[in-house]
Amino acid sequence: MERGSSESFTRMGTLGIEEECFVVDGDGRPTSGTDELVYEHDPPEVLEGRLDHELFKFVIETQTPLIERPEDARGALLEIRRALVEYAEEHGYQIAAAGLHPLAKWRELEHAEKPRYQSQLDRIQYPQHRNTTAGVHVHVGVDDADKAVWIANELRWYVPIMLALSANSPYWNGFDTGLESARGKIFEALPNTGMPTHFEDYEAFDTFERRMLEADSIRDRGELWYDVRPHTEHGTVEIRTPDGQADPDIVLAFVEYCHALVEALAEEYEDGTTGERHRRELLDDNKWRAIRNGHDATFIDRDLEGTVGLGEVVDRECERLGIDGIKDVYDSPSGTDTQRRLRQEEGTDALCESLLLEGE
């Protein structure tokens, strides 16, 4: 059984960024499935070992190398994106990003043949067969295992904020769901997803992970698909909340926010701050508010006294943490608003084009 270790948590503040994107054709439409980019050709050197299919062949994931300093995140992300776009173009494809591709119909798409995904399809069935989702995952290094679990507990209140800001998936299977982030709800149909519960310390999390493996509830540690989790191999806290984004500045705003949050929470832990013990049900309600309302969401506040609008949270967080990226995201139309406007006013060609990643 693949297990992690408390000894993995050795470094504070490093970063890693994983992006799930779509392989589309020259018109920006989803490809039914291709192995060309992952298995049939050698990718550029920067992508070696950092490129793979997700569940569907038309969903592809990239990973940055370890990023030592937050100021290096932009260069690392853009280098990976540029290489992917150029590599895809060499073989007649383009790359797009959103939480869901608005024209992807899961019954028409090929699943990856990787044994891990075939096993998941066999075990999970319908919820996994339709899982055309794509997100952004941010890893932040933490130098102590108990600290990482404490930080992950605290981050649970913040992940609906990130989901609301990132809302970029109104369409699923070709129709408008009426949601701002349909991805957030579709992915929750899988087991071991959504808002995790509170863990007392690393030992409690490790016991849970081991029991899930021994009970054959999961086949590997990576099948704990919660919105935030201690990553017991990389020694990080992994935030898995935002919808996929074509605009790298939006991704980098979330990277900035995640890094600042983890650093601030680490200081609270070291100061002996008592953590919040929010009920998961209240946090689930906040996540639903994000899924349904996006930038217009209000949330049960962190102190559980009343509600607070997303704009107020963003202002509060930017001032508290000394950041500004998420303010720019909030002040701009959401991805969902842009998708709906383009589809209604300019048609599906413009919609598909808006989701394409650019090489430069």
Domain boundaries, the chain: 6-354
∠ CA 44-166-294, nearest 5°, is 160
Judged by DSSP in three states, 169 sits in strand
147-156: b or e for each residue (b if 16 or more CB lie within 10 Å)?
A: bbbbbbbbbb
Residue partners of 339: CB distance under 8 A and separation at least 6? 98, 102, 168, 170, 171, 351, 354
Residue range 257-285, pLDDT digits in tens: 999 999 999 999 999 999 998 999 999 99
Residue range 338-350, pLDDT digits in tens: 999 999 999 999 9
Share of the chain above pLDDT 70, in %: 99
- Res. 140: pLDDT tops 90: yes
Averaged pLDDT for residues 149-158: 98
Measured CA to CA, the distance from residue 42 to residue 185 in angstroms comes to 36
Q: Which residue has the tokens 């946090």?
A: 283
pLDDT at 359: 63
CA dihedral 19, 175, 193, 198 (to 10 degrees): 100
Residue partners of 7: CB distance under 8 A and separation at least 6? none
Measured CA to CA, the distance from residue 295 to residue 314 in angstroms comes to 11
Measured CA to CA, the distance from residue 150 to residue 267 in angstroms comes to 11
What Å distances lie between residue 129 and 56, 125, 143, CA to CA? 9, 6, 38
Query: How many residues would you count in the chain?
Result: 360
Averaged pLDDT for residues 120-144: 93
DSSP letter string, 254-311? HHHHHHHHHHHHHHHHHTTPPPP---HHHHHHHHHHHHHHGGG-EEE-TTSSSEEEHH
Q: Model pTM?
A: 0.96
Instruction: Mark residue 235 as left, alpha or beta (left: phi above 0; alpha: psi -120 to 50; beta: remaining).
Output: left
Residue range 203-238, pLDDT digits in tens: 999 999 999 999 999 988 888 999 999 999 999 999
The dihedral through the CA atoms of 248, 244, 62, 25 has a sign that is negative
Binning pLDDT at 50, 70 and 90, where does residue 32 land? confident
Type of residue at 13:
G
Residue partners of 64: CB distance under 8 A and separation at least 6? 15, 16, 17, 18, 50, 73, 76, 77, 80
pLDDT at 8: 93
Measured CA to CA, the distance from residue 210 to residue 354 in angstroms comes to 43
Measured CA to CA, the distance from residue 221 to residue 178 in angstroms comes to 34
Binning pLDDT at 50, 70 and 90, where does residue 116 land? confident
Query: Which has the closest alpha carbon to 225: 13, 24, 78, 20?
Result: 20
Averaged pLDDT for residues 61-85: 97
Q: Are 97 and 62 in contact (CB under 8 A)?
A: no
pLDDT at 360: 56
> In angstroms, how far is CA 293 from the centroid of its own chain?
18
Indicate the average pLDDT of the chain.
94
pLDDT at 177: 98
pLDDT at 1: 52
Per CATH, which fold does 6-354 belong to? Creatine Kinase; Chain A, domain 2 (3.30.590)
Binning pLDDT at 50, 70 and 90, where does residue 40 land? confident
Averaged pLDDT for residues 47-55: 88
